[in-house]
Structure 1
Amino acid sequence: MTSPAAIVAVPVRNEAERIVACLRAIDAQEGLAPGALGVVLFLNNCTDGTGEIVAGLLPSLAVPVRVLNEDFAGAHAGWARRKAMDEAAAWLGEAGGAILSTDADSRVPPNWVVRTLAAIEAGADAVAGRVELDVEEGKLLPAMLHARGRLEDIYDGLITEAEARIDPDPHDPWPCHRTTIGATLAVTRDAYLAVGGMPEIPLGEDGAFIARLIAHGKRVRHAPDVCVTISARLTGRAPGGVADTIRSRCEEPDALCDARMETFARCVRRYLWRARFRQMHATGALARDRAWSDWLGIAPEEAARIASLPLGHAIGEAEKASPRLAYRPIGPRHLPAQIRLARIGLVAIRALTGLRGRGKAAVPASVIATRAA
């Protein structure tokens, strides 16, 4: 029997209320040849009848499904996702293909697999999609949470565009985003195995996995046309997950934004530094010129180690080591002012990087920094 070309890996724990909608959505994928898609369900520590519901549903599904069951007292999100993705990699076998990840409380659109595979076929080793909250469940959340979310989405889009224009990644061009979530991740089998698989950590395994791929020089596409609906519930299955984030922001309206949401001036300075660091890394100048490490406050021994690393890994290590590049996230009350500054700054950034993109002389980083700040 021919193996599928793509496998969807789904970790499942006590999802009796949502697993049917999840599987029906995967089964309804469009634009795929018969037999091209398979599903791995990793049921762990289920006590609510999820297994019985799955067993009853399987005969009505067109897509082949492999169900694994395991009870483990030390279970956590990273462990479960890795188990599901490891099984998907084994199913694909030496023929290779793509491993897609989603969650049992999420619903993927009919074009999810096709659009994800299109990004891989265009050259990506991995694809990160966007997410949107379930509309009906979202109606139960406080209005102030939605207001804050809209401001964060606006600002995130502005700083992401600034990053993509100042420090462009040819494999992840604008338009793009910076969402990293297990509800919509994909990776080729080869890339998955090359980086050692999904990190088996209790929290943030999705972000750590993308960071691992980038550190190994893999091409990650944050595809804006790939979007999945996720639950807006306040009681989740994984500590520190989306549900905990939503609940904590309901309880603490002034909680800081995500780490990457700094002041616009600080964001621009970070992107300019990365662009310069990328250039120096490509030419070997990091090892010859230590002025960069002095400016960042990195000791000579640590700077030498960083200079010897692959680019993605080197950038991450430099940002960890430098006190000047420590993240200083803003709070929600600062968002309106920073959005205004970002909109003004982007006018200049678009103009200046547009000149560079048309093959004219590169605009000095100092000019962009001055205009954007």
Structure 2
Amino acid sequence: MSGAAPEPITHVTVVVPARDEERLITRCLTSIAVAREHLRITHPTPVDVRVIVVLDRCSDGTEYAAQSAGVDVVSVDAGSVGAARRIGMTRALSNPTAHQTLSDQHAPVRPPARRHWLLSTDADSAVPVEWLRTHVELAAGGAQVVAGLVRPDDCTAPRVLSRWHAAHPIHLGHDQIYGANLGIRADTYLLVGGFPAVDTGEDRYLVNAARAIGARIVATDRGTVTTSGRLDGRAPAGFAAWLRQS
């Protein structure tokens, strides 16, 4: 894809799918709040940041934890992480400023898709303080998709952790794709049809679809996300399965 110079990002929406993550989701949402404050303080122009948690068949206290964090919450019966991410993105695009209060005097203004950055992470993950700024800066530099890295947290068994790092060296220009650290400009997301409603691999599908239309994909080792090192993950063939096999 080619054309005019990229427009600056004015809106960011972070979509967090969750299934029974009451133990870890507060860590996730707190880390996003810290990254949002860092972006507010350090970025030269204002960027509106919204967080949407998609509760997929939750039966524990995840909903209460998410609501306590003051983010937007939607409950669904999707049964797959791909469908949950897709629903969250659809919500973001249909009303990106829905977090405005009823006392607001002006109707919400939907930002142009070319200025709206869609971000994905997971409820069992924690983003670094520079995460949002990294994505916004790379988008301003022309990225239409940003593929970031993840690393298992320190709770992972040392033997498993050492094998993981040996098999997944962190370097710039990597070819790894993780739904826990993936960003895409909204107009590109719409053009490729969004996340598919599948049990696993929705992140790779989205990036491959963007690559097929010539979108500029930037792989970065900045803003690496910490994710749970548990071996019993929610998605089949997901990150936990990768850890077990690494």
1:27 pairs, out of 19, 23, 33, with: 33
1:7 pairs, out of 5, 13, 32, with: 13
> How many residues matched?
216
**1:34 Cα deviation after fit:** 6.0
C-alpha change, 1:204 and 1:133, in structure 2 (3 Å) is: same
Say yes or no: does 1:44 pair with 2:44: no
Structure 1 distance, partners of 2:62, 2:48, is 26
Please list the CA deviations of residues 52-78 of structure 1 after superposition, one character each: whole Å capped at 9, or x if unmatched.
2222332xxxxxx22111224xx1111
Residue 188 of structure 2: SS of its match in structure 1? Answer: helix
Say yes or no: does 1:83 pair with 2:87: yes
Q: Please state which structure has a larger fraction of its residues in strand.
A: 2
Structure 2 distance, partners of 1:210, 1:95, is 21
TM-score norm. by structure 2 comes to 0.82
Structure 2 distance, partners of 1:216, 1:24, is 36
Residue 220 of structure 2: SS of its match in structure 1? Answer: strand
Structure 2 distance, partners of 1:14, 1:34, is 34
Q: CA RMSD in A?
A: 1.8
Where structure 2 has 5 or more consecutive residues not aligned to the other structure, the ranges are: 1-9, 97-109
After the TM superposition, which residues 179-328 of structure 1 pair with which residues of structure 2 at under 5 Å, given as runs? 179-249=176-246
C-alpha change, 1:120 and 1:248, in structure 2 (3 Å) is: same
Structure 2 distance, partners of 1:101, 1:56, is 21
C-alpha change, 1:71 and 1:150, in structure 2 (3 Å) is: closer
Match of 2:175? 178
**1:142 Cα deviation after fit:** 4.9
TM-score norm. by structure 1 comes to 0.55
Residue type matched to 1:190 in 2?
A: D
**1:150 Cα deviation after fit:** 3.3
C-alpha change, 1:23 and 1:146, in structure 2 (3 Å) is: closer
After the TM superposition, which residues 56-205 of structure 1 pair with which residues of structure 2 at under 5 Å, given as runs? 56-58=68-70, 65-72=71-78, 75-92=79-96, 93-96=110-113, 97-135=116-154, 137-138=155-156, 141-143=157-159, 145-154=160-169, 175-205=172-202
Q: Please state which structure has a larger fraction of its residues in helix.
A: 1
From the CA coordinates, give the structure whose radius of gyration is larger. Answer: 1
Where structure 1 has 5 or more consecutive residues not aligned to the other structure, the ranges are: 59-64, 158-174, 250-373
Q: Judge conservation of contact 2:76–2:84 (CA < 8 Å) in 1.
A: no
Structure 2 distance, partners of 1:109, 1:238, is 23
